[in-house]
Structure 1
Amino acid sequence: MDKLQAMATFVRIVEAQSFSKAAETLSMPRSSVTTMIKRLERHLGTALLRRSTRTLSLTDAGERYYASCRAILSGIAQAENELATDATTPRGRVRADMPGVIGRALVLPRLREFAQRFPDIELVLGLSDRPADLIYDGIDCVIRSGILADSTLIARRLGQLRWITCASPRYLKEHGEPETVAALGAHQTVNYISNATGRPLDWRFNVEGDNLAMTMQSRLAVNETDAYLQCGLEGLGLIQLSEFVAAPYLQTGRLKEILASARCSPVPISIVYPSGRNSSAATKVFVEWITAIFEQNDLGWGEKSA
């Protein structure tokens, strides 16, 4: 027996004061309505209605049950109405996680705009290079780079990362500039430690059409993007990072790109979130907002792999 349907049918009978009228409004045969109420009374172990050929009235138990059913059905209707309202006026909390450099350079400067457009959404941002787990960490969406593993989650492409190898003028003055990828072995490099694996990320190049992944020997390694960039600016070694992150420093001359002819192939960047039926309206509008920001700026950056 569908208890919710039985409760709704019982309430309709009481309000219509007739099995026949209730059956008509519910588009059900009268016999089905009668059978449903009999099963409900048998399940509850008590009579709910007093029936005669001309009258229909509630028993004491029926009156109490009717009041409870009205309250339950009203609560369900209210919950559904609120969700329907959310579809046009999204509300609620959205927890999003992204690399810190994305949050600071792209998202935080636009938060006032988001708050004005969606005043009923509470936004909780995690800014970290540590990869987040949507299910374990209770997060609604994350921005990830690299090729994503197959899963039940939706991955929406935001753009692609273009990685370049850089050095500061100070470093190049002291150590010279490598002319080939093979010459890197004679240079100092700064490695980036992946928060996912605890190991240095490979350096990636494309040499004569072949993609190369190289493990670089280094006396210095960090696990945070801003710290990694600072190491390069201080002349502590060669670094490999996103073109967008490096762009302002390339323009001012604080960094110089090297081995430009050996740039690796671009890496995709995506926003990942649950499938439509498991994703709130608020999460969906946040995803659309983030997607629009990337389209407007033609940007992409993050770790070299997901």
Structure 2
Amino acid sequence: MMDGRLLTGVTVLDAVIASGGFSKAADALGMSSSGVSHAIARLEARLGARLLDRTTRSVALTDEGRRFYERVRPSLEEIEEAAVDASSSAARVRGRLRVNIDPFFSRLVLAGKLGGFLAKYPELALEMITREHVGDLVADGVDVAVRFGEPISASLIARKLADIQILTVASPRYLKRHGRPQVPQDLPRHSCIDFRDPQTGRPYDWEFHRNGRILPIKVASRLMLSDAGTMLTECLAGTGICQVLAIAVKDQLAKGRLVNLFPDWADETFPLYALYPSRHHPAAKVRAFIDFVSQTVR
């Protein structure tokens, strides 16, 4: 492990050589002259060699100091270049971005829009990993995750992107065969499709929200699915009634392929979050993707 005091001493030595004196180095580093002198003295003690010849008018490297400085100067330049590169990455959208994303959201919301995002940032390469669970973002090398539901892990930074409305829908084919439920309390007499909560393994509860009131309904279901795309396909085919996120069925509702059964019970929502490992200076590529998702869902 690098000795931090050694690196500090080398940095001070570089400033003294570059500026030609202790006072000017102190001004450049925001230190006192005595602080600079002490840092050089500690470095010389650490190395067991005198690095500088000092007079009241000038400072010059000793032979040992010159050999040492010639060895360490290239490393200082590499550190400076790395710092500039890191600073640029924080402000410039570039490099490879790895995203862990909910399969349903990827397929039904973002699919078809990623090309436009990449066209906006030609220096960016995007890798989308669709998984049901977030997992360990750091161990998996993932920059950001996009997930529905309240975050479980306290170790991740969570930013809410939107509250997505939940709708109860059926196809005209189903309604023609079974009739339309007039109120949520009619649902136990209908075929409903349950969706499995990946966190618990149980189906999500059916609830209806209006003006602060929450109405739970126990539905009759012979079909439970864990894939939202399959659930939506079955609903369109007339298999049963399901609850879905409004952003996923906008086109089907507009075209009359699905019917919103209870528009007067419209207050239930499901949160969408972006999750990432650190709150300190997220890279520009992460901020750009989060903004893209936010704009897409809104």
Output the TM-score relative to the length of structure 1. Answer: 0.79
Deviation by residue 1:262-284 (Cα, 9 ceiling, x = unmatched): 44523333333355415112211
Deviation by residue 1:156-187 (Cα, 9 ceiling, x = unmatched): 44332222222223323333333333332222
| Matches of 1:203 and 1:171, distance apart in 2 | 19
What residue is the counterpart of 2:36 in the other structure?
33
SS in 1 for 2:280: helix
Using the TM superposition, name which of 23-32 and 1-10 deviates more: 23-32
What residue is the counterpart of 2:134 in the other structure?
132
What residue is the counterpart of 1:213 in the other structure?
216
Q: Is the counterpart of residue 4 in structure 1 residue 10 in structure 2?
A: no
What residue is the counterpart of 1:180 in the other structure?
183
1:252-267 equivalent positions in 2, closer than 5 A: 252-267=255-270
Q: Is the counterpart of residue 82 in structure 1 residue 85 in structure 2?
A: yes
Shift in alpha-carbon separation, 1:264–1:2, aligned structure 2, 3 A: same
Q: Report the residue type matching 1:109 in the other structure.
A: G
| Matches of 1:97 and 1:149, distance apart in 2 | 15
What residue is the counterpart of 1:91 in the other structure?
94
Q: What is the RMSD computed on CA atoms of the aligned residues?
A: 3.2
What residue is the counterpart of 2:72 in the other structure?
69
Q: Is the counterpart of residue 280 in structure 1 residue 283 in structure 2?
A: yes
| Aligned match for 1:227, one of 230, 233, 244 | 230
| Percent of aligned pairs with the same amino acid | 30
Deviation at 1:52, TM superposition (A): 7.3
1:42-191 equivalent positions in 2, closer than 5 A: 42-49=45-52, 56-60=60-64, 62-128=65-131, 130-133=132-135, 134-135=137-138, 137-148=140-151, 151=154, 153-191=156-194
| Matches of 2:119 and 2:24, distance apart in 1 | 50
Shift in alpha-carbon separation, 1:187–1:113, aligned structure 2, 3 A: closer
Q: Is the counterpart of residue 196 in structure 1 residue 199 in structure 2?
A: yes
Using the TM superposition, name which of 187-196 and 96-105 deviates more: 96-105
Alpha-carbon contact 1:192-1:221 (below 8 Å) kept? yes
Structure with higher helix content: 1
Deviation at 1:88, TM superposition (A): 4.0
Gaps of 5+ in 1: 299-306
Alpha-carbon contact 2:91-2:283 (below 8 Å) kept? no
Alpha-carbon contact 1:47-1:59 (below 8 Å) kept? no
Gaps of 5+ in 2: none
Alpha-carbon contact 2:108-2:229 (below 8 Å) kept? no
Alpha-carbon contact 1:163-1:263 (below 8 Å) kept? yes
SS in 1 for 2:82: helix
Deviation at 1:141, TM superposition (A): 2.2
Output the TM-score relative to the length of structure 2. Answer: 0.81
Shift in alpha-carbon separation, 1:29–1:196, aligned structure 2, 3 A: closer
Size of the aligned set, in residue pairs, is 293
Alpha-carbon contact 1:204-1:212 (below 8 Å) kept? yes
Deviation at 1:196, TM superposition (A): 2.1
Deviation at 1:21, TM superposition (A): 5.7
Using the TM superposition, name which of 9-18 and 249-258 deviates more: 9-18
SS in 2 for 1:198: coil
